[in-house]
């Protein structure tokens, strides 16, 4: 159980850390989530839209959208990972390794989305689930 003294200390610290105060600080912090663009909504490429419309005839729209989104995330992760791997070969550093490790989060998320969509697709078509 948290003591009253700890609660008061937490409140005092919270009052001190209320975010950036200057215009520059606010502008910089507003771009924190936009460093690589992987966490934003994917812009589906023309190729994926074509595939999407071809599949839309036989599939559920939600399943096709999930597959297209996962495919676009895989493409974007690959586009970021390849230059990092080249950089790692030329000048090994822990910083580059950390960037590559962080990309795995987005790759795993896309894999989970793809697996779920394929499972839904199999259930929709009556083939059961995938392993």
Predicted pLDDT of residue 129: 47
Long-range (24+ apart) CB contacts under 8 A made by 120-126 are 120/60, 120/62, 120/63, 120/66, 121/59, 121/60, 121/63, 121/67, 124/59, 124/60, 124/63
Q: How far is 33 from 53, CA to CA, in rounded Å?
A: 31
What are the CA-CA distances from residue 115 to residues 7, 28, 86, 129 (Å)? 44, 37, 30, 10
CB count in 10 Å sphere of residue 107: 17
What are the CA-CA distances from residue 61 to residues 77, 90, 110, 125 (Å)? 24, 44, 18, 13
Instruction: Tell the residue number behind the tokens 């989104």, with chain if given.
Output: 69
Predicted pLDDT of residue 11: 87
Predicted pLDDT of residue 56: 63
Predicted pLDDT of residue 131: 47
Which pLDDT tens digits describe the chain residue by residue (131 residues)?
789 999 998 888 888 877 777 888 777 776 666 556 666 655 666 666 666 666 666 667 778 788 888 888 898 899 989 999 999 999 989 999 998 998 898 999 999 999 998 898 888 776 554 54
Predicted pLDDT of residue 34: 56
The pTM of this model reads: 0.58
């Amino acid at each position: 159980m948290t003591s009253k003294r700890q609660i008061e200390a937490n409140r005092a610290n919270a009052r001190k850390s209320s975010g950036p105060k200057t215009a520059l600080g606010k502008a910089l912090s507003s771009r924190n989530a936009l460093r690589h663009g992987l966490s934003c909504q994917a812009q589906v490429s023309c190729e994926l839209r074509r595939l999407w419309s071809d599949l839309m005839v036989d599939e559920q729209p939600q399943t096709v959208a999930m597959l297209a989104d996962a495919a676009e995330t895989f493409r974007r992760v690959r586009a970021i990972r390849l230059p990092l791997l080249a950089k790692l070969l030329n000048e090994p550093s822990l910083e580059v390794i950390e960037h590559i490790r962080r990309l795995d989060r987005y790759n795993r998320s896309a894999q989970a989305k793809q697996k779920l969509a394929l499972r839904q697709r199999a259930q929709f078509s009556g083939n059961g689930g995938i392993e």
